[in-house]
Amino acid sequence: MSDPAETPPAPDAAQPPHAAAAEPPAPATPEDRIADLEAEVSQLRDRWLRAEAETQNQRARSERQIADARNYAIQKFARDVVEAAENLRRGLDALPPAAPNEDELLTKLRGGFESVERSFLALLERNGILRRDPQGEPFDPELHQAMAEQPATGDAAPGTVLQAWTPAWTLNGRLLKPAMVVVAAGTPSSGQRDEKETAA
C-alpha cells in the first residue's frame, strides 16, 4: 500500500495546456503599415508647414524692422535740420518786401538767401524730408495742429486752414513735425459734407 503523501497531485483537468503563455500579437497587415506611415507623414508635413510659416513671419518682421531703422534712424537729426530750415525762412520773411528802388545790396542778400533755401530744401527732399504748406487746405489732424480759430472769410469753408505759422514736415511719409495753423471756425455744412462724400 503506497503512502498518500508521496502520491503526486493530479493535473487540473479544467486548465487548458499552455494557458499561462501569452499569445503573440497578430502580425500587422500591409494596409495597417501603410496607414501608420501615412499618418506619420501627415504629422511631419504639418510640423514642416508650421515651421516654414513661422520662418516666413520672422523674416518679414526682420525686414520691416530693418526698413524702419533705415528710414527713420535719422528722425531726431531730421527734426533739428527742419528747425534750421524754418529759421532760414523766418530770416527771409524778416527782410523788407522787394521794391523797385531798394538798395542793390539788399536785393543780392535776399536773392542769396532764397538760393540757399532752395538748395537746402532740395537736399532735404533727396533724403526723404518734405515740406508741406497747408494754407487753404482742409484741416487734417494727422498733419496740422490748430493754434487758433478765426471766423471764415470769403470763400473759405469752415474747417479750412486760413493761415500757417509753420509748414508740416514729413520723413519718408511719416509725420515729422505738424504744421501750426489757424483754422476757420465752425464745421463744414451738410452740403459741403455731401459734396466731399460724393467726390470720395
Mean pLDDT over each residue of the chain, to the nearest integer = 81
| pLDDT interval class at 22 (50, 70, 90) | low
Instruction: Give me the mean pLDDT over the 155-164 stretch.
Output: 88
Percent of the chain with pLDDT over 90: 36
pLDDT at residue 126 is higher than 90: yes
Q: At what angle do helices 75-94 and 104-126 cross, to 10 degrees?
A: 160
Q: Is the pTM of this model over 0.75?
A: no
| Of 51-55, 85-89, 149-153, 155-159, highest mean pLDDT | 85-89
Report which residue type is found at 64. Answer: R
Instruction: Give me the mean pLDDT over the 97-118 stretch.
Output: 90
Which residues in the chain belong to E strands, given as ranges? 129-132, 144-150, 161-164, 168-171, 174-177, 179-184
| pLDDT interval class at 137 (50, 70, 90) | very high
Q: Taking Cα atoms as reference points, which of 166, 117, 125 lies closest to residue 143?
A: 166
- Asked if residues 157 and 192 have their Cβ atoms less than 8 Å apart, the reply is yes
Q: Is pLDDT larger for residue 6 or for residue 58?
A: 58
From residue 53, give the alpha-carbon distance in Å to each of 42, 43, 59, 65, 183.
Answer: 16, 15, 10, 18, 50
φ, ψ of residue 160 in degrees (nearest 5):
-90, 145
**Counting Cβ atoms within 10 Å, is residue 179 exposed (0-12), middle (13-18) or buried (19+)?**
buried
pLDDT at residue 194 is higher than 50: no
Say how far apart CA 99 and CA 104 lie, in whole Å: 10
From residue 128, give the alpha-carbon distance in Å to each of 65, 75, 86, 124, 172.
Answer: 18, 11, 17, 6, 5
The residue written with cell numbers 522787394 in the block is 98
